[in-house]
Structure 1
Amino acid sequence: MRSGLIPIIMIFCVSALLTSCGILIKPQVKTGIFQLEKGSYTLDQTHVAVLFKINHMGLSTFVGRFNKVDATLEFDPANIAAAKLSAIIDVASIDVNNPDLEATLRSSRWFDAEKYPQAFFKTVSVKLIDQNSAIFTGELTLHGKTAPIELVVTFNGGADNILTGFYTLGFSAVSRFNRSVFGIDYLIPAVGDAVDIEVFAEFQQR
């Protein structure tokens, strides 16, 4: 009877140890833009997702992502209007969980990734919305064309990450634009013109 309890006790102890580890590594996150640290930040490549969503035939929302992204952020909570965000997306890194469709989307009818291998975003102006969010107005260069877009950015908080040794900002953003503005108009309106972008990222202070 007692020997049967030993595995249960061991499982309980291991579970308790893992739980305590999770508590120990969870940072003390401060929220609110004005609580965050000024600095130059670079994207944490292991904690980023850039998603796009588009209407498909009026029947569903098609979702994809780009796997290769880089970005920098210049940030001062005392002067949020001077914040600068720059990003580069490797267009060929498009991922829709279907290799054949990915090859089609890289072709000249869609992104034409061989001719236009990268997309670029850079900030033109920043306007504070509330204590956690701001509108980053900037220029997007995609498919060889440049046009203005707006990113609604939310700063989720900031903290010292003991796993990396860097002070880190939690960051998310959403945007919507028409792909036809950038000369990508194949199959409109069967495939929607409006594209929704969602970004989830962490930036590390350097």
Structure 2
Amino acid sequence: MKKLAIFLFASLLGATAQAAEYVIDTKGAHAFIQFRIKHLGYSWLYGRFDDFNGSFQYDESKPEASSINVNIDVNSLDSNHAERDKHLRGEDFLFVEKYPTATFKSTSYEPAGDGKGKLTGDLTLRGVTKPITIDVTHVGGGKDPWGGFRQGFTGSTEFKLKDFGIDYDLGPASQTVEMILDVEGIRK
């Protein structure tokens, strides 16, 4: 029985050791967190968060063991309009003075084949934590020109603003925000 326990423990360590850890490349501007929401139902308002960091673990032979952690400075919001950004940072929306950071921590990944899958995790925004699911596609991976190794993913999700305590009335067409995520990581 003791030998079986040692074997299982060693197997677990071996499986964990194979997943490579990657740092999200925000310094090289190869990662983006963007959002869009309908404006009055007539057009789209786009924005992004310029300051964030994180890391992920990924093993191509065992993608279901993948995980990611991301920290976002919500004050870095940029919608290309200073007055609107000021309003979005205020109490009606993100309330950055009280909640300066948003986080995402994955809890599971379900591969769907062809590099696609569903990443589920906990998003904390404006002090509220809720589970969300991100539709993910593996863009590619391999050696870079500087002797490193990279992996890249894209994904999207949407959620209702009111689920995170944002109840400012933007009209019936503007209740849901879509997040678009593009992440390139450099293997440690």
TM-score (norm 1): 0.78
Instruction: Tell me the equivalent position of 2:47.
Output: 64
Q: Would you say the 8 A contact 1:56–1:190 is kept in 2?
A: no
Q: 2:72 aligns with which of 89, 95, 116?
A: 89
Q: Does 1:181 align with 2:152?
A: no
Correspondence 1:134-149 to 2 at 5 A: 134-149=117-132
Residue 100 (structure 1) shift:
1.4
What is the alpha-carbon distance in structure 2 between the residues aligned to residue 62 and residue 90 of structure 1?
20
Residue 38 (structure 1) shift:
4.1
Residue 190 (structure 1) shift:
5.2
Secondary structure of the structure 1 residue equivalent to 2:64:
helix
Q: Would you say the 8 A contact 1:169–1:203 is kept in 2?
A: yes
Based on CA coordinates, which of the two structures has the bigger radius of gyration? 1
Residue 191 (structure 1) shift:
6.1
Instruction: Tell me the equivalent position of 2:7.
Output: none
Residue 165 (structure 1) shift:
2.7
Secondary structure of the structure 1 residue equivalent to 2:135:
strand
Q: 2:151 aligns with which of 149, 166, 169?
A: 169
Q: Would you say the 8 A contact 2:47–2:78 is kept in 1?
A: yes
Structure 1, unaligned stretches of length 5 or more?
A: 1-36
Secondary structure of the structure 2 residue equivalent to 1:154:
strand
Q: Does 1:54 align with 2:37?
A: yes
What is the alpha-carbon distance in structure 2 between the residues aligned to residue 166 and residue 187 of structure 1?
47
Q: Which amino acid aligns with 2:25?
A: D
Q: Does 1:107 align with 2:90?
A: yes
Q: Which amino acid aligns with 1:179?
A: L
CA deviation string 1:6-55 (max 9, x = no partner):
xxxxxxxxxxxxxxxxxxxxxxxxxxxxxxx9410010112111110101
Q: 1:120 aligns with which of 95, 99, 103?
A: 103
CA deviation string 1:163-204 (max 9, x = no partner):
x43201121111111111000110142561111111112110
Aligned-pair RMSD on alpha carbons?
1.4
Q: Which amino acid aligns with 1:203?
A: G
Q: 2:180 aligns with which of 190, 193, 198?
A: 198
Structure 2, unaligned stretches of length 5 or more?
A: 1-17
Residue 134 (structure 1) shift:
1.3
Instruction: Tell me the equivalent position of 2:25.
Output: 44
TM-score (norm 2): 0.85
Q: Would you say the 8 A contact 1:52–1:197 is kept in 2?
A: yes
Q: Would you say the 8 A contact 2:40–2:170 is kept in 1?
A: no
Secondary structure of the structure 2 residue equivalent to 1:105:
helix
Aligned identity (percent) is 31
Q: How many residues align?
A: 169
What is the alpha-carbon distance in structure 2 between the residues aligned to residue 72 and residue 137 of structure 1?
16
Moved over 4 A (4+): none
